[in-house]
Each structure stands twice: as C-alpha cells, then as structure tokens.
C-alpha cells in the first residue's frame, strides 16, 4: 500500500541529518546507521498507515549496510524512502540500496575528490600566491561548501523524486557534463597553481638556497614515485616538516 507523504519539511530534516552520516561509521554497516538516521524523517508518514510496523521495518532496513560517497548518499536515502512509500517489496528496496553503492561511490570520487575539491583548493592557492591572503582562504571555504551542499540537496531531491527509477537522475546531462569537465578543469587550475605557489614559497630564499629547495622538491617527487607503495605524500610531508623543525632548533 502506498502513502502520499508531505515531502518538503521532511527533506530539510533529512538533509541536516545527512551531514552526520559518517558519525556512526563502523566496520559492520559502514554508513548504514547514519543512512537510517537520515532516512527516518522521510518515513514518519508510514506510521499513519497502520500500527507502525511498516514504519519500524522501513527504518530498520534503512540502517542496513551501505557504503558510498558521503555527498551523494542522499540519493539512496531519498530513493529508498520513496520506494517504501510507494509500497515496493522489501527485497527490491534492499537490492536498490545495494545497487547504488558502487555508482554513487565512483561518481562522488570523480566529481568531488578528483574534481571539485582540488579545483577549489587550487584556486585558493593561486589567490594566496598572488597576495590575496585570508580572503582567498575564506573564498575557498565558501565556494567548496556551497558546491557540496548543493550536491547533497540535489541528490536527496532526485532520489525522492525518482524512487526506484533513480537511475534516470544519474543520466542527467548536467551531471554528465559536470563529471566530464571537472577533471580537466582541476588539472588546468592545479597546473597553473604549481609555479605560482613554488615562486611564493621560495620567495624567502636566495641564490643557491633556491637550487637546494628545488633539489629537495625533486628528490621528494622521486621518492614518491619510486616507493609509491610505501610512502604517501602525507608521510613524506610530515617527515620533511620534522626535519625542518629539527634543523631550525640546531641551526646556530
């Protein structure tokens, strides 16, 4: 039996809960518990359809195992909640959630981690290197967060709108274009930022010290390439920071 829900206020509450979807992450259910918490406001109308058994069962299903990109998991929240209201069999709802894990994880990684985040970070680095300072950092925070909040809201609404036919949302031309453009745009911005940041960072060095700095940077790239299975950029950066701190203490 289907139920006609009141969508707009519940979507707002669900969106707010999606910001904490990783707060209860665990190895057994990954993001599952957080997904169930975020989906619960969209399921409350199910309580009016009977004794509450449908509501309790739907909330329990919403907390089952799930793992995808945190900025796009709202698509699964909205789609699963709409499927519950439309009277879709529980087994089909479970299959829907399982089928969305891979595509949402892959899409989110390409769109956000390999696109939007390094793109906005590169713009901030360019701004700092050109002397904008704090406004460049504030601009990064505003721009990046505006983008990811808009993505979360779109995903939740698209899932709620399409339900079990949520694959239609993933094929939207705007989303496809954004995925195709984000990678080249990120590469262009980061490529432009590298020489500007290098010049900014080496501004306090003169003469042969700049040559030494370039040699250290080249050596770092060589280490990362040669031992990429064991050394990460974070580990190398922390090691260099520790060495620089030690050198500062020992320098006469």
Say whether both 172 and 216 belong to one domain: no
Say whether both 79 and 175 belong to one domain: yes
Domain count for the chain, please give it: 2
Residue 201 placed within a domain? no
Residue 200 placed within a domain? no
Query: What pLDDT is recorded for position 45?
Result: 87
Per the CB < 8 A criterion, the answer to whether 13 and 52 are in contact is no
Distance between CA atoms of residues 60 and 26, nearest Å: 16
Residue 39 placed within a domain? yes
Distance between CA atoms of residues 74 and 68, nearest Å: 10
Residue 140 placed within a domain? yes
Query: What pLDDT is recorded for position 206?
Result: 76
Query: What pLDDT is recorded for position 163?
Result: 93
Sign of torsion, CA 66 68 70 76?
negative
Residue 136 placed within a domain? yes
Distance between CA atoms of residues 120 and 111, nearest Å: 12
Residue 134 placed within a domain? yes
Q: Which domain holds residue 19?
A: 7-187
Query: What pLDDT is recorded for position 127?
Result: 95
Query: 223 — phi, psi (to 5°)?
Result: -65, -45
Say whether both 54 and 112 belong to one domain: yes
Say whether both 147 and 214 belong to one domain: no
Say whether both 25 and 71 belong to one domain: yes
Per the CB < 8 A criterion, the answer to whether 66 and 31 are in contact is yes
Say whether both 164 and 239 belong to one domain: no
Residue 193 placed within a domain? no
Q: What is the mean pLDDT of each run of 10 residues along the chain (252 residues)?
A: 58 95 92 95 82 88 95 96 93 95 94 93 94 94 96 96 92 88 92 88 75 80 80 76 80 66
């Amino acid at each position: 039996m289907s139920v006609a829900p009141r969508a707009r206020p519940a979507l707002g509450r669900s969106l707010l809960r999606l910001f904490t979807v990783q707060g209860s992450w665990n190895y057994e259910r990954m993001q599952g518990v957080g997904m169930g918490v975020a989906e619960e406001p969209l399921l409350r109308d199910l309580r009016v359809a009977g004794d509450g058994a449908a509501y309790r069962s739907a909330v329990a299903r919403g907390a089952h195992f799930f793992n995808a990109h945190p900025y796009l998991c709202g698509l699964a929240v909205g789609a699963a909640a709409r499927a519950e209201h439309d009277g879709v069999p529980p087994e089909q709802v479970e299959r829907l959630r399982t089928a969305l894990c891979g595509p949402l994880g892959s899409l989110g990684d390409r769109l956000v981690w390999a696109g939007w985040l390094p793109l906005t970070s590169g713009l901030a680095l360019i701004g700092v290197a050109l002397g904008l300072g704090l406004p460049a950092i504030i601009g990064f925070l505003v721009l990046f967060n505006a983008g990811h909040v808009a993505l979360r809201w779109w995903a939740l609404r698209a899932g709620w709108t399409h339900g079990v036919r949520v694959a239609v949302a993933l094929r939207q031309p705007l989303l496809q274009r954004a995925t195709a453009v984000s990678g080249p745009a990120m590469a262009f911005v980061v490529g432009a930022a590298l020489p500007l940041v290098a010049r900014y960072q080496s501004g306090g060095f003169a003469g042969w010290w700049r040559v030494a700095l370039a040699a250290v940077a080249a050596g770092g790239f060589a280490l990362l390439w040669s031992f990429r299975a064991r050394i990460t950029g974070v580990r190398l950066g922390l090691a260099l920071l520790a060495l620089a701190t030690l050198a500062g203490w020992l320098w006469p």
